Every structure is written in C-alpha cells, then in structure tokens.
Copies of this chain bind each other. A is one copy, B any other.
Amino acid sequence: MTLRVGVVGGGQLARMMIAPAVELGVELRVLAEDAGMSASLAATAVGDYRDAATVLEFARDVDVITFDHEHVPQDVLAALVEAGVAVHPGPDALRFAQDKLLMRARLQELGMPQPDWAAVTDADELQAFIDDHGGRAVVKTPRGGYDGKGVRVVSAGTEAADWFATLAEDAHGGALLVEELVEFTRELAQQVARRPSGAMRAYPVVETVQRDGVCAEVIAPAPHAGERLPQVAAQIGTAIAEGLGVTGMLAVELFETTDERLLVNELAMRPHNSGHWSQDGAVTGQFEQHLRAVLDLPLGDTTALAAWSVMVNVLGGPVEGSLDERFATAMAEHPQAKVHTYGKAPRPGRKVGHVNVVGDDLDDVAYQARAAVAVFLD
C-alpha cells in the first residue's frame, strides 16, 4: 500500500520532492505544464492545471494532491474537493496566497504585525495613501506576482495607471494593494510545517538577501538574532499557519524594521527558496517535510545539523559554455558545496540551481557557497 502524492506543477520545487519521496518510499506523480520540465523524471502527466478535467484525471488514485506553485484556480480546487480528493494546502488556505488583499485583511483579523496597507481602486485613492505615508508607497497587483513581478515602488498615484486599467478588465475585480514602504534593516523568512491534523513544527528563522526582487542568498539561522527574535518569528509563523489553515510547508517572509519589529511581507504555501538550506543543513529538509505534512504523517525534526548553513542561488548561467561544464571546477574547488540543479536552460536572472554549504564558521561557509556559485556564472 504505497502512499501516492500528486504534485500539480513540474518546476524545481516538484523536482526536489523526488529525492525524499524515493527514500521514504512515497510514489510521486507530477502533472507538468510541459514535457522536459524540471521534475520530468517524475512527470507522469503533462497538461493544463487550469483545466478541471485534466487535474481531476491526474488526481485519480493518489492519496493527496499538492502543488509546485499557488496558481491553480479556485474552481479547479473546488472540483477536486467535491470529487473527494484530499488537497493540501486546501482551497480555503490557498486563496490567501492567491490574493494579497485577502491575505492582508485576514492577517489584520489575526492581529499579525504587518505594514500599513489599503485596497485602492483608482489613482486618487493611491495618491491619498502616498500622501499619508511620507510620499512613497509600494503598489502590488493582488494576483499573479512573484519574484518581484507585480510590485512597484511609486511616489505618485498616476504611476499605477496601467495596472488600474488592466484591473478594470479583470473578472476578479478592481482594487490594487498598496503598502507603506517599510524601513527595514534586513529580510527574514520563517518556515512552518503543519499537518491536516494540526501538529506543527517551526524551522529556525533565516535571513534572506534579495537582489532585484529575487532571493539571492539565505543564511540559516539568521545571524545576530538573539533569543527573542527567533521566538517571535516562530510565533508569527505558527499563528499564520493555524489562522489561515495552511497544510504542508508555509514560508512567511518578514521585514526586520529599524525599530526592531517584525512585519509580514509575503506568504508562500509550499516549499520555498528560503528553505532550500534545509536539504543539507537540517535533520529534515523542507521537501521531505512537505511530503510528510500533506500525507498527515508525523513531522520530522527541524533542528539544524551545524551552526551555519548558507544557500546561494545560481541565477542565470555562464556567458560562454554550459552549466554542466562548470560542474567539475565548482566541485574541485569547493568539495563541501552541495550543488542542486533544476534541469533548466540558463537565462539571465533565471533560477537554475543553488548551492548549500554547512559548517561551523559562518565566514567560511558563506565564502564557500558564494565562490562555488561564482564558478557557474563567471
């Protein structure tokens, strides 16, 4: 009676579930958008995740459906639930990841610390918010943004005119999210795993370094954090997992402000780039934990294996030659580097892999990880 997990989406997050699935003896099935995607080894089906019939057919004979991304439409999710399929995270949780206005409203109900925000429907409302918040603000499209897309820093209400125009044509309705521009010293991320039956485990809070809106580097645990900050971050993470009914892995991206508060920036209800360090740096990696959580199996230990882990993304690729040709050099110069590849063709800025290094000296660990990645990009 082998347990079967069906993953909708064939990207690198699905790909990285393959390794722990094999070791746990879980059969992984993947509904990929196209042939030859990252998770192609386990891609048992290719099809459109926006088509309910396609997803329902894929979901037959699996014990649970989970996701590589949060973009499966609510009507498709509803069809799965109606057909009696276990879906984790479920539609009621996922809508908060799919709509940032819903998320902000729900976090406000839960009393979570977050930036000032508002729903604005035209340039005048946006201008009023800007005027109230020091002359600048962050405008976000509530749906479909990722890796910095759909996010714009503005200082005038007219700077989002194109988005307001698009919204007018959108069936989901007509508001943008505007948030105060937070003065932060750094960005953190808190991961929590939660089972359908309610049990949770928090990972150590990490520091994330973004470049051009994309995660470039993660340090686990967050340095110079003291005792209180990790506790507060874990409390925020578990409160959100519980309050939003998240099942599987949840990542809460946080700002640490200049006045030492933590404010919730974004949520992701799946394994997340900020947790890749755990593949090599924690007793239980986030991809194994996600499988355990969505199957409602007991969660694994989230303790770090060493004092420090550093994850550096391989963004893009070499100017000449291929990633594979750089492998030997990276491995030879950095034998402690754990290289993870996504099977994707390099393009400027595209996440095509990452490197983890684990050890007791942060300076050395960070140097080795950055230097190994540099070999791929030189």
Contact = CB atoms under 8 A, between A and B. Distances in A.
Interface string A148-188: 00000000000000000000000000000000000000000
Contacts of A16: 22-23
Interface string A256-293: 00000000000000000000000100011000000010
A361 to B, nearest CB: 13
Contact of A23 (B2, B335, B339): B339
A336 B300 contact: yes
Given A25-B341, A283-B335, 16 more contacts: A1-B322, A15-B22, A18-B19, A19-B19, A19-B20, A19-B23, A23-B341, A24-B339, A25-B353, A201-B335, A284-B335, A297-B327, A297-B331, A298-B331, A298-B332, A299-B335
Interface stretch (A94-102, A125-133, A301-309): A301-309
A333 to B, nearest CB: 8
26 contacts: A1-B322, A1-B324, A1-B325, A2-B324, A3-B324, A15-B22, A16-B23, A18-B18, A18-B19, A18-B22, A19-B23, A23-B279, A23-B340, A24-B339, A25-B323, A25-B353, A283-B335, A297-B328, A298-B331, A298-B335, A299-B335, A300-B336, A301-B335, A301-B336, A305-B305, A305-B306
A92 B324 CA distance: 30
A101 B297 CA distance: 49
Interface string A34-51: 000000011000000000
A74 to B, nearest CB: 31
A358 B358 CA distance: 15
A75 to B, nearest CB: 33
A340 B322 CA distance: 34
A343 interface: yes
A336 B298 CA distance: 11
A22 B41 contact: yes
A358 B283 contact: yes
Nearest to A336: B301
Contacts of A284: 335
A345 to B, nearest CB: 11
A303 B358 CA distance: 11
Nearest to A333: B298
A167 to B, nearest CB: 41
A104 B42 CA distance: 44
Contacts of A24: 327, 339, 341
Contacts of A332: 298
Contacts of A25: 323-324, 341-343, 353
A42 B358 CA distance: 29
Interface string A211-254: 00000000000000000000000000000000000000000000
Contacts of A328: 297-298
A305 B358 contact: yes
A19 B24 CA distance: 11
A19 B358 CA distance: 19
Contacts of A325: 1
A343 to B, nearest CB: 6
A323 B2 CA distance: 10
Query: Which of A283, A325, A340, A342 neighbours the largest number of chain B CB atoms within 10 Å of its CB?
Result: A283
Nearest to A330: B298
Nearest to A325: B1
A314 to B, nearest CB: 11
Contacts of A343: 2, 25
